[in-house]
Amino acid sequence: MDDKSRRRVRTLRESHVNLSHGSGGKAMRDLIEDVFVAAFDNPQLAAMEDQAVFPFAELALHGDRLAFTTDTFVVDPLFFAGGDIGTLAVAGTVNDLAMSGARPLYLSCAMVLEEGLSIEVLRRVVASMQRTAQLAGVTIVTGDTKVVERGAADKLFINTAGVGVVPAGVSISAANARVGDAVIINGTLGDHGTAILIARNQLGVSCDVASDCQPLAGLVAAMLAACPDIHCLRDATRGGVATVLNEFAESSNVAIRIDEDALPLREEVRGACEILGLDPLYLANEGKLIAIVPGEHASAVLAAMRAHPAGECAAIIGEVCAAPAGTVVLNTCFGGQRIVDMLVGEQLPRIC
């Protein structure tokens, strides 16, 4: 029996994580092989080295620049309608790569496990990570596991880092917005933030809203095929759409004007915001992006987005103007205007 076959027959016997699973010994190796290697199942990870190695020639097939990012996920609760911390960990990092126009290729996965965490819960999270990775077309190739004493963490924290390749000729930056550009979103606002509120039982009402958590690399590729000259892209996570638009306005020294009537919003999300006094422009999303594209290409980009499953409800919500520079202005449904400032503080903690 070869070494790989011996690894595959090992079975983790414990039902909960204990400190020995972070000791560096046999218990830790069993946890890694039984839970992580078995689920992610690829040659790079199965080699059980301390790093994953790739030929430059393989990367160069996809473009001429590397994109690299990292993110940490601490959501409470771990599971919610539409996803869980594992879905977030993969989709969030994939989306950060995709916002540069990159094709995401490889992820790392580092986990901080609290003593007492159910192994079954861990398996569910890891299975979600693998499903989302397959959907996004990425491979989880390396990782790390740490175990801390009971009470030193909140069940499970995940860090994922990602590597992708940016195609030649693509140059996307928050500083690229130009007067006359169109502002496009790929769907409804605030679904993730509302789903977390429901999962925390903070609404006091029953709402059928699921998180929008999804990888967006395929959508971005379709958008770039329609218009390689996309100026700005960013996923509207913590701080929501308002924060992203302010970042664009400040970086590009332009004004961005959006129309309240054009904002796609579920009635359930609108109702939740009215109950709690929240502004949907600031609610977190995990599968929504804001694109700034040349005005003459807006219709083509919008059509490409609506033809993709992640952009079926895409809408043009505003335009880039010259003044007042560095400012986001909302044209309200009542015919007035108001300044949309950067979020101060955090509407909802532990959101992703």
Q: Does the model's pTM come out above 0.85?
A: yes
pLDDT in tens, the chain (352 residues): 244 444 454 578 899 999 999 999 999 999 999 999 999 999 999 998 999 998 999 899 999 999 999 999 999 999 999 999 999 999 999 999 999 999 999 999 999 999 999 999 999 999 999 999 999 999 999 999 999 999 999 999 999 999 999 999 999 999 999 999 999 999 999 999 999 988 988 666 667 899 999 999 999 999 999 999 999 999 999 999 999 999 999 999 999 999 999 999 999 999 988 888 899 999 999 999 999 999 999 999 999 999 999 999 999 999 999 999 999 999 999 999 999 999 877 677 889 9
Fold classification of 182-339 is Phosphoribosyl-aminoimidazole Synthetase; Chain A, domain 2 (3.90.650)
Q: Give the pair of three-digit tokens for residue 49.
A: 């080295």
DSSP 20: G
Q: Please provide the DSSP assignment of 102-144 as one string.
A: -EEEEEEEEEEEETT-BHHHHHHHHHHHHHHHHHHT-EEEEEE
Under 8 Å between Cβ of 198 and 207 = yes
> What is the reported pLDDT for 2?
42
Under 8 Å between Cβ of 75 and 350 = yes
CATH class belonging to 3-166: alpha beta
Side by side, the strands of the sheet bearing 289-293 are 232-235, 289-293, 182-185, 315-321, 255-259, 327-331, 337-339
Under 8 Å between Cβ of 54 and 175 = no
Under 8 Å between Cβ of 234 and 99 = yes
Q: Domain map of the chain by residue range?
A: 3-166, 182-339
